[in-house]
Amino acid sequence: MRLLIYLFDFIFVVILGRLPNRVMRNFFGVSPGQTGGSRPVAGRDQAPIATGQTARDPVCGMFVSTELSHRLIRGTETLHFCSQECLERFRRDAANAGENYTHTQ
Protein backbone atom coordinates (compact mmCIF):
# COMPACT_ATOMS: atom_id res chain seq x y z
CA MET A 1 0.00 0.00 0.00
CA ARG A 2 2.83 2.37 0.85
CA LEU A 3 4.35 1.70 -2.59
CA LEU A 4 1.12 2.83 -4.27
CA ILE A 5 1.14 6.04 -2.24
CA TYR A 6 4.75 6.75 -3.30
CA LEU A 7 3.86 6.00 -6.91
CA PHE A 8 0.86 8.32 -6.72
CA ASP A 9 3.01 11.06 -5.17
CA PHE A 10 5.65 10.63 -7.87
CA ILE A 11 3.07 10.91 -10.66
CA PHE A 12 1.54 13.96 -8.98
CA VAL A 13 4.96 15.67 -8.70
CA VAL A 14 5.80 14.93 -12.35
CA ILE A 15 2.48 16.36 -13.55
CA LEU A 16 2.82 19.37 -11.29
CA GLY A 17 6.40 19.91 -12.56
CA ARG A 18 5.36 19.87 -16.21
CA LEU A 19 2.42 22.21 -15.76
CA PRO A 20 4.47 25.46 -15.58
CA ASN A 21 6.45 24.39 -18.63
CA ARG A 22 3.29 23.81 -20.63
CA VAL A 23 1.75 27.08 -19.45
CA MET A 24 4.91 28.99 -20.44
CA ARG A 25 5.00 27.31 -23.85
CA ASN A 26 1.34 28.09 -24.53
CA PHE A 27 1.56 31.66 -23.26
CA PHE A 28 4.86 32.68 -24.89
CA GLY A 29 5.12 30.11 -27.66
CA VAL A 30 8.53 29.06 -26.29
CA SER A 31 9.58 26.60 -23.64
CA PRO A 32 11.73 28.02 -20.80
CA GLY A 33 14.92 26.41 -22.16
CA GLN A 34 14.66 28.04 -25.58
CA THR A 35 15.46 31.56 -26.69
CA GLY A 36 12.73 33.68 -28.24
CA GLY A 37 14.19 33.80 -31.75
CA SER A 38 15.17 30.16 -32.15
CA ARG A 39 12.11 29.12 -34.12
CA PRO A 40 9.75 31.06 -36.35
CA VAL A 41 6.14 31.51 -35.35
CA ALA A 42 3.79 30.03 -37.93
CA GLY A 43 1.13 32.29 -39.33
CA ARG A 44 -0.46 33.56 -42.51
CA ASP A 45 0.82 37.10 -42.11
CA GLN A 46 4.39 36.13 -41.33
CA ALA A 47 6.95 38.37 -43.03
CA PRO A 48 9.83 36.76 -44.90
CA ILE A 49 12.92 36.24 -42.79
CA ALA A 50 15.66 38.64 -43.83
CA THR A 51 19.26 37.54 -43.67
CA GLY A 52 22.48 39.10 -44.90
CA GLN A 53 23.36 42.77 -45.03
CA THR A 54 21.29 45.87 -44.48
CA ALA A 55 21.40 49.24 -46.22
CA ARG A 56 19.88 52.61 -45.43
CA ASP A 57 17.01 53.84 -47.57
CA PRO A 58 18.21 57.18 -49.03
CA VAL A 59 14.69 58.69 -48.90
CA CYS A 60 13.37 57.88 -45.40
CA GLY A 61 16.56 56.62 -43.69
CA MET A 62 15.10 53.25 -42.68
CA PHE A 63 17.43 50.22 -42.67
CA VAL A 64 16.33 47.47 -45.08
CA SER A 65 17.63 44.02 -45.97
CA THR A 66 19.60 44.07 -49.21
CA GLU A 67 17.87 40.80 -50.17
CA LEU A 68 14.29 42.04 -49.73
CA SER A 69 14.62 45.68 -50.76
CA HIS A 70 13.50 47.52 -53.87
CA ARG A 71 16.64 48.44 -55.84
CA LEU A 72 17.90 51.03 -58.28
CA ILE A 73 21.21 50.52 -60.09
CA ARG A 74 23.40 53.05 -61.86
CA GLY A 75 26.78 51.75 -63.01
CA THR A 76 28.32 50.10 -59.95
CA GLU A 77 26.10 51.91 -57.44
CA THR A 78 23.07 50.06 -55.99
CA LEU A 79 20.51 51.90 -53.86
CA HIS A 80 18.11 49.96 -51.62
CA PHE A 81 14.60 51.19 -50.69
CA CYS A 82 12.18 50.02 -48.02
CA SER A 83 9.05 50.46 -50.14
CA GLN A 84 7.78 51.13 -53.62
CA GLU A 85 6.74 54.62 -52.48
CA CYS A 86 10.29 55.57 -51.45
CA LEU A 87 11.62 54.12 -54.71
CA GLU A 88 9.15 56.16 -56.80
CA ARG A 89 9.88 59.32 -54.83
CA PHE A 90 13.62 58.88 -55.43
CA ARG A 91 13.08 58.18 -59.16
CA ARG A 92 10.91 61.28 -59.46
CA ASP A 93 13.57 63.42 -57.76
CA ALA A 94 16.36 61.80 -59.84
CA ALA A 95 14.41 62.38 -63.07
CA ASN A 96 14.00 66.05 -62.15
CA ALA A 97 17.78 66.21 -61.60
CA GLY A 98 18.44 64.46 -64.96
CA GLU A 99 19.91 61.23 -63.55
CA ASN A 100 19.24 57.77 -65.04
CA TYR A 101 18.76 54.69 -62.85
CA THR A 102 17.80 51.12 -63.73
CA HIS A 103 15.07 49.57 -61.55
CA THR A 104 15.52 45.95 -60.43
CA GLN A 105 13.31 43.99 -58.08
List the domain boundaries for the chain.
1-33, 54-104
**What is d(CA 100, CA 48) in angstroms, rounded to the nearest whole number?**
31
Distance of CA 73 to the CA centre of its chain: 26
The answer to whether the predicted template modeling score (pTM) of the entire model surpasses 0.85 is no
Task: Over range 26-53, report the average pLDDT.
Answer: 60
Q: Name the nearest CA neighbour of 88 among 98, 101, 77, 75.
A: 101
Position 74 pLDDT exceeds 70: yes
pLDDT given for residue 20 in this prediction: 80
Tell me the percentage of the chain whose pLDDT exceeds 70.
72
